[in-house]
Structure 1
Amino acid sequence: MTDPTDLAGALAALHAEAFDAPWSASAFADLLSQPGVLLEARADGFVLIRLAADEAEILTLAVRPPARRTGLGSRLVEAVSRRAVGMGATRLFLEVAEDNAAARALYGRLGFEPAGRRPRYYARPDGPAVDALLLVLILPASLPTA
């Protein structure tokens, strides 16, 4: 999948399997064209990060539902963390919905720590908006292997 349009479409399709509010192919194409954006991908999942100076941010981590709880999410974060360290990053940030227990558990196992909160950040069609928790991982960290 070397064609950027094909790649963006494939990422959007996988993202749609993983999230209720998926990103479009054009959003992925735009992100992939930006400097400092790195993609780590496997057949059943991917993680997209952005690097700026000595900081990196996970923009999205998507794993197909049938591949969840197999260690794929951990392997993706570990791989992209190593790449970020190699490019000079000392911290990796992310936002996660406060009600996303599975993602919070994954990030906790990987060593992410609370760094802040964005009140009512994630809209929910069937209820009130949910806070985003800001998490940080200090790099290089001794990441557990999946």
Structure 2
Amino acid sequence: MKIWMAPAGLHVEPAQVGDEKSLAALHAEGFFRGWTTADFQSYLRSAETPIYVACDAKRKIAGFSMLRIADDECELMTIVINKKFKGKRLSTALMQAMIEDLMMSPVTKMFLEVDEDNQPARKLYDRFGFAQIGERRGYYPRPDGKTATALVMKADLG
């Protein structure tokens, strides 16, 4: 099993079947429309949607990231960090683990969408060489009924 070091006494490893409830609960905390346990069951069984978890030695998940891979491209579908671990650089550790893992694959480009108002995420993506290539107005629904613009970003991995 692949394992990468992470801050706060945690490490990053591939998610496992059985993690779906924890992943769904954490995703629901971080997003207005969280994905269901059934969604994660499907994702965990697919080689095209690898999930990386930041967890402790007992596999208590503090955050995770998920990709969707298609040929030589991938999309960063989500990164979610438990509120208790925000600001501890877990997103950076997850990004490093994903990119290191992708370097051993045919993937050469990574895409993502990020809420234009999410400054911490935008700074993270800037550090990893992502550049804005477009935007999607009204992409993200908000609890107040309004919508937010998604910035479409791309990074070349190799």
TM-score interval (norm. to shorter): 0.7 to 0.9
Give 1:19 deviation, angstroms: 2.3
Indicate conservation of the 8 Å contact 2:79/2:91, yes or no: yes
Query: For the residues of structure 1 that align with 2:32 and 2:143, how far apart are their CA atoms?
Result: 10
Report % sequence identity: 35
Following TM superposition, the consecutive aligned residue runs of length 4 or more in structure 1 with deviations greater than 4 angstroms are none
Matches of 1:69 and 1:42, distance apart in 2? 14
Cα drift, residue 127 of structure 1: 4.7
Kindly state the Cα deviation for residue 16 of structure 1 after the two structures are TM-superposed: 2.2
| Residue segments in structure 2 that go unaligned for 5+ positions in a row | 1-14, 56-61
Which residue number in structure 1 is paired with residue 82 of structure 2? 64
1:76-130 per-position Cα deviation (integer Å, ceiling 9, x unaligned): 0111111112111111111111111121121112221101111110111215211
SS at match of 1:86: coil
Q: Does the CA contact (< 8 Å) of 1:117 and 1:131 recur in 2?
A: yes
Which amino acid is 1:88 matched to? P
Q: Is the 8 A contact 1:118 1:132 kept in 2?
A: yes
- Secondary structure class of the residue paired with 2:32: coil
CA deviation after TM superposition for structure 1 residue 21, in Å: 2.3
Taking the aligned partners of 2:16 and 2:78, their CA distance within structure 1 comes to: 21
Can you give the 5+ residue segments of structure 1 that lack an aligned partner in the other structure? 141-146
Cα–Cα, structure 1 residues 125 and 19, in superposed 2: closer, same or farther, change >3 Å?
Answer: closer
Matched, 1:100 2:118: yes
- 2:50 maps to which of 34, 38, 48: 38
Higher helix share: 1
Q: Contact (CA 8 Å) 2:43, 2:50: kept in 1 or not?
A: no
Residues 17-67 of structure 1: per-residue CA shift (max 9 Å, x gap): 322322111111122222322111112111110111110111111111111
What TM-score do you get using the length of structure 1 for normalisation?
A: 0.86
Which residue of structure 2 aligns with residue 143 of structure 1?
A: none
**1:76 corresponds to 2:94:** yes
Look up the match of 2:5: none
Aligned equivalents of 1:132, 1:117: Cα separation in 2: 6
CA RMSD, Structure 1 to Structure 2 (Å): 1.6
2:36 paired with 1:24:
yes
Q: TM-score, normalised by structure 2?
A: 0.80
Q: How many angstroms apart in 1 are the aligned matches of 2:99 and 2:75?
A: 10
